A and B are shown apart, each in its own frame.
Chain A
C-alpha cells in the first residue's frame, strides 16, 4: 500500500522537485504566519537569495504521511512543542545542525536536539467587558458560575492547558500539577460542562469573545493582543498565565535541509525574533531579542508577567499525549 502511495505521490510531485534556491515553510496561517513571513522569510530571501514558499496549515497527520512515504515537501514546519518531542522520538524529524544555527541566545527551555523555538506564548484569561460585571482574577473564577454567569470558552482539542486550568481552579498548587490528576480535572470540568463553548482555532476564540457569545475564555495571549489592537473592549488577567511554545522543526528527509537550517538561523536570530514579537505579541525565544524591541512591546509580552506564571510541562505531555487524548475525547463526547 505504501508503494502505491509513494508511486502516486512521486508521479504527482515529480514536477515540483525541490531546487537548492527554494524552500517551503509551513505554519498555522492567519496573523501568526503573516508575521512570520514578514519578520523571517522576506528578510531571509533578501539576504540569502533562497526563495521561501509558504504553505499551511500545519497538519501533523500530513507531516507523518510525508515522512512515511519518503516524499517530504515541507522543509521547515512550525509545530507545538509537545508534538515536536513526540515526533523526534518517533523518528520523524531531522536533528538541528547547530553548526549552522547559532545556539548563543536561545532559551534552553524551548530548544533541543530536534527543534528550535519559534515563539512562546501564554494562555491568559480574557473576557468581554460588556458581558461581564466585575473582574475575574483567577482560573477559579471561570468555574464560579454564580459570581460570573455566562458562557466560557476553552480550547477544544486535547492539548496542554485546560486540564491544568481545572486543577488550578480546584486548588491544586502550581508546583503539584504534575503528574496530572485526570479524574480530579474532569470532575471539576463536569461542574461547568454545560456552560462551555469550545473554540477550535485562534480566530474562533477571538470571534466568541469579541461578540460576547462567550463572556470569558482561555485565549492565546497573541490573539488577545490582536483584539486589543483592533479596539475590542476586552479585559485580560495574566494571573496564573500558562506558558507553552511553538517550535520549528525539519521533517526527516526534507529536500532542502541546508536551506532549512539557514532559515532557522535567521528565524531564531535576535533581530528575527524581535520583529516577530513586535508584530504578533508573542514572546521571543532568543534572550537577546529584547534589546532590539520598543519598551511598550516588551511590556505586553508573556515574560513581563512572570509573577504567578506557570510553565506547562511539555515533556509530561509528550509522554502521555495519547493516554490523555483518549480520556479527553471520551469525556468531551459524553
Chain B
C-alpha cells in the first residue's frame, strides 16, 4: 500500500467536483460557521458562552464523561470486532459474504428499535436477569442498565460493523505467508499475533477506532435510554440546554468545542498513522 504510485492528494481534474463541493459547502460548511457565530453572538457578542461552559462544573464533567464513554466503547469494540474480522478475512469468500450480510443486516434495523430491544434484555426485570435468577445463578438482579455497562453494551453493538469493515480490509491485505513464516521460525501463535498480525492490522484498527470514537462522541438516543444521569453524554446535555433553557448560545458553544476536539483528534491520528494508510485501511 505504501508503494502505491497513485497520488490520492492530487487536485488534477477536480473541476468536475464543483457540484459536490457546493453540496459540501452548503450543507456542511455553512451550518458549522452558523454554529460558531451563534456561540459568540447569542445573546450578545462576546465569549461569555465559552466562559460559562468552562466555568460550569457540570459541563466539564459531562465533557469528560463523554470522552470516557467513547473511549470505553471504542476499546471494547476493537476487542470484540477483531476475532470476527479475522474469521471473515480467512473464511471462504462465499460463506464470508453471508456472515458479513448478517452483520450488516443489523445496521438496517432502526436504531431506536435496537435500543429498545436492549432495554428489554438488560433491565432488572429483563430477559437476562430473569433467566439468571431463574437458574439460581444470581439472587439480586445485575445492574446492567442506566449505567456505564448499559451504554457500553448498547453502543458496542451498534458500532461493531463500523469496526469490522475497515479491519477486514486491513487483515485481508496481510500476506498469510508471513504468519506461516513466523510459525516456521518457531514463533508461538501468541507471538505471531503480537508481532505480526497486530502491527500489520494497525491501520485498520486506527481507521475503525477513530470512526467509532468520533461517532460515539455525538451519540444521543442510546446513552439517553440505556445510561443513567451520572453518565450523561454531551449530546443530551446540549439538547436540554437548547430545548428547555432556550440557551442556543451555550448549546452552540458546547457543540463547537466538541467539534474542535474531534477535529484535533483526527489531525493527531492523521499525523500518527498517515493519511494514506488511513485511507488505505478504509
List chain A positions with a Cβ less than 8 A from chain B: 1, 4-5, 59-62, 64-65, 90, 151, 156-158, 197-198, 200, 211-213, 321-322, 325-326, 329-330, 332-334
Provide the residues of chain A in CB contact with B33, threshold 8 Å: 1
Please name the residue on chain B nearest to A8 by beta carbon.
B30
Instruction: Tell me whether B125 and A333 are in contact (CB under 8 A).
Output: no
User: What separation, in Å, do the CA atoms of A118 and B64 have in the docked complex?
Assistant: 41
Instruction: Tell me whether B245 and A333 are in contact (CB under 8 A).
Output: no
Instruction: Tell me whether A200 and B224 are in contact (CB under 8 A).
Output: yes
Please name the residue on chain A nearest to B52 by beta carbon.
A326
Instruction: Tell me whether A5 and B34 are in contact (CB under 8 A).
Output: yes
Please name the residue on chain B nearest to A212 by beta carbon.
B125
**CB-based A-B contact count at 8 angstroms:** 66
With A200-B224, A322-B245, A325-B244 in contact, do A333 and B229 touch (Cβ < 8 Å)? Answer: yes
**Interface readout for B33-47 with A: 1 if CB under 8 Å, 0 if not?**
110011001000000
A and B contact pairs by CB, cutoff 8 A, 25 listed: A1-B34, A1-B38, A1-B41, A60-B243, A60-B244, A60-B246, A65-B248, A151-B124, A157-B240, A157-B244, A198-B146, A211-B125, A213-B123, A321-B245, A322-B247, A326-B56, A326-B58, A329-B237, A330-B57, A332-B232, A333-B58, A333-B62, A333-B232, A333-B237, A334-B230
Provide the residues of chain A in CB contact with B24, threshold 8 Å: none
Provide the residues of chain A in CB contact with B34, threshold 8 Å: 1, 4-5
Please name the residue on chain A nearest to B65 by beta carbon.
A333
Q: How many residues of B contact A (CB 8 A)?
A: 31
Instruction: Tell me whether B243 and A59 are in contact (CB under 8 A).
Output: yes
User: What separation, in Å, do the CA atoms of A65 and B242 have in the docked complex?
Assistant: 10
**Interface readout for B243-255 with A: 1 if CB under 8 Å, 0 if not?**
1111110010000
Provide the residues of chain B in CB contact with A197, threshold 8 Å: 146
Instruction: Tell me whether B230 and A211 are in contact (CB under 8 A).
Output: no
B61: interface (CB < 8 Å): yes
**Distance of A60 from chain B, by nearest CB (Å):** 6
**Distance of A327 from chain B, by nearest CB (Å):** 9
**Distance of A152 from chain B, by nearest CB (Å):** 13
With A60-B246, A65-B248, A321-B245 in contact, do A329 and B37 touch (Cβ < 8 Å)? Answer: no
User: What separation, in Å, do the CA atoms of A333 and B63 have in the docked complex?
Assistant: 11
**Distance of A167 from chain B, by nearest CB (Å):** 20
Instruction: Tell me whether A1 and B243 are in contact (CB under 8 A).
Output: no
Q: Which of A151, A156, A333 has the most CB of B within 10 A?
A: A333
User: What separation, in Å, do the CA atoms of A211 and B120 have in the docked complex?
Assistant: 10
**Distance of A258 from chain B, by nearest CB (Å):** 27
Instruction: Tell me whether B248 and A333 are in contact (CB under 8 A).
Output: no
Q: A1-B41, A157-B244, A333-B230 are known contacts; what are 18 more A-B pairs with Cβ within 8 Å?
A: A1-B34, A4-B30, A61-B242, A61-B244, A61-B246, A61-B251, A64-B248, A151-B124, A157-B240, A213-B125, A322-B247, A329-B58, A329-B232, A330-B56, A332-B232, A333-B62, A333-B65, A334-B230
**Distance of A74 from chain B, by nearest CB (Å):** 15
Please name the residue on chain A nearest to B37 by beta carbon.
A1
Provide the residues of chain B in CB contact with A198, threshold 8 Å: 146, 228-229
Provide the residues of chain A in CB contact with B37, threshold 8 Å: 1
Provide the residues of chain A in CB contact with B123, threshold 8 Å: 211, 213
Provide the residues of chain B in CB contact with A334, threshold 8 Å: 61, 230
Give the contacts of B219-238 with A (CB-CB under 8 A).
Answer: 224, 228-230, 232, 237
**Distance of B256 from chain A, by nearest CB (Å):** 13
Provide the residues of chain A in CB contact with B125, threshold 8 Å: 211-213
Provide the residues of chain A in CB contact with B62, threshold 8 Å: 333
**Distance of B66 from chain A, by nearest CB (Å):** 11
Please name the residue on chain B nearest to A58 by beta carbon.
B243
User: What separation, in Å, do the CA atoms of A329 and B232 have in the docked complex?
Assistant: 10
Give the contacts of B49-92 with A (CB-CB under 8 A).
Answer: 56-58, 61-62, 65
